[in-house]
Amino acid sequence: MVRTLRTLALKVQFGVEDQVKLVPTLLKCFPCLETLYIMSVPSDTPVNVDIEFWDQVGFTECVYSHLKKLVLEAVRGEDSELAFAKFVMERAQMLEDMRVLVDGSCSRDVLLSRLSLEGCVSADATVAVERYDGTAWTFQRAIDLLQSDPFGC
């Protein structure tokens, strides 16, 4: 376990079961994680990932006790993407800011209606659904040590 890591950025193919199952394993390695960025990458041959998987994930300390910010980028409105978002919303007691950046192929309004806030456990959380412009992650910005949050939008 690495207790000092506070910010993590991942690229995940939510349509690939092995990648989806790796996410909670990684999160358990960083119990004090406060900020999580996930870029959703389309799958060439998406598999029907069991969305109930997230209901079966056990205790994940960083999500329950430390996660303050979640940014999901390039979301296309797939069930597996929304299942992960709801997993966080229903468990993250410290969540302050959740941003869902939707891909051009997905309707912002439809996604907002599917992502109901009534299950959000944190009363202080703000959830924003915005259009994704494709410029959030760059290598040059990620290695810029002057940035306090190299993945921040």
In a domain, 127, yes or no: yes
Q: Name residues whose C-beta falls within 8 Å of residue 143's C-beta, 6 or more positions apart in sequence.
A: 150
pTM (2 d.p.): 0.87
The length of the chain is 153
Kindly state the average pLDDT of the residues 54-77: 92
Instruction: Check pLDDT > 80 for residue 136.
Output: no
Chain mean pLDDT for the chain = 85
Query: If residue 71 lies in a helix (H) or strand (E), which one and from where to where?
Result: strand 69-75
Domain count across the chain: 1
- For residue 151, pLDDT over 80 is answered with no
Lowest-confidence region among 35-44, 78-87, 131-140: 131-140
Residue 108 predicted with pLDDT over 90: no
Dihedral sign (CA 25, 35, 56, 59)? positive
Is 147 contained in some domain?
no
Residue 10 and residue 38 in contact, taking contact as beta carbons nearer than 8 Å? yes
**Residue 120's domain spans which residues?**
7-142
- Asked if residue 144 has pLDDT above 90, the reply is no
In a domain, 101, yes or no: yes
